Structure 1
């Protein structure tokens, strides 16, 4: 029998599905300019369903990897579905928030989300962080009804997004009052521990949520434990938590599941 493979699936150009998001998830700009990097990124916004019928101002959560954040129809395997999760939690009485999602670059995520140079190239994370703080946040605060102070501004991300989230929390403690750090790729940025250690006094009152899974490997658990112990050495600070899940894997379904706990943590 002569079996021939004409092409691998990864090499075939398949049409992209026509994803349709909820009517309260919008694209702020398909090409939002990032002057610090001279690049463009699509930026999303989730507005609470009652936003359009109120004059309220809302806390804001900034999140990386915007392509994967919101629930699409048909559903995707790589989505966090944060809008669906938050809709359900709001119905249960939790605080309403605006959520901003910033798309990552297709080719340069490993450098754009790393504040330090690495084997993958020159780190652009410091410039990316400056973009969010100095360009995007002022734009969002100007065009939407936000509560712009530190106690009402949060940031979250996973893997490389978890790494840059930790950096941004420590670099800008006067901007971000809470952070969700999901399975951070700390092994690519060993300098981050010194960065955190030098800023401990500024982080004591911040709310920090770490989560990682045993199926991500011992190095992941050891790294997260190391940075957690820097921030909460005696385990007495209830504002800083580390949740270790036995079944946790380095994948979106895990982060989607744990997002609910994170949201409840910062919305208290």
Structure 2
């Protein structure tokens, strides 16, 4: 795939204390296979769907043990310049840009309302080799209790155009690049326990949402929401056995009219 435009979600990975357990879980739920762990890069292990790289899992570095969480990376032509924009826009750079061999340059950051994300300046590794196919990344949403902070931040750091959903009952914003929507933002409601911080929820594509949910819960995942059918597909939100939140969506099963959007 070609290098993605700035601000495009381009990669996802997660740290798991039980790496083999994570491989077994996602291998069963999403059909992933896994490459060899790279000891040079902390046993970073790529996941593949139908032979194409779609994500990665890695054990935590010493001192970083804790609840697992998926991290979404946004494409950048210059990670150092993006890191500077993050600081100028009120975010925190948790890990400054670091070259990762010939693969590219990465950084980790936190936006002002608390969601952690990554920046990726691709080189030999450009990012997802497939999207919106079974087992691959499809969509993501920033869940936050302070949407004004997140909205201002993401529009300042990346060249997004923002539109709001025409539904007074839902506070939902869509960030786009040109005509392409690339990221959603949802205001967290009281349905979320107060101890749950802002986070970016990553959606992976499946060919049967209900079957994927059944496999996940049989392996110890917690079903948080759904399955339900929407104009975008049939989806469900889950927490995996090690605490990482993610969603699955069957984009071929849809119901209802697409919601209208208005300029933000």
Task: Place the TM-score, normalised by the shorter chain, in its bin.
Answer: 0.3 to 0.5
What's the TM-score, normalizing by structure 2?
Answer: 0.33
Structure with more strand by fraction: 2
Structure number having the greater helix percentage? 1
Q: Which has the larger radius of gyration?
A: 1
TM-score norm. by structure 1 comes to: 0.32
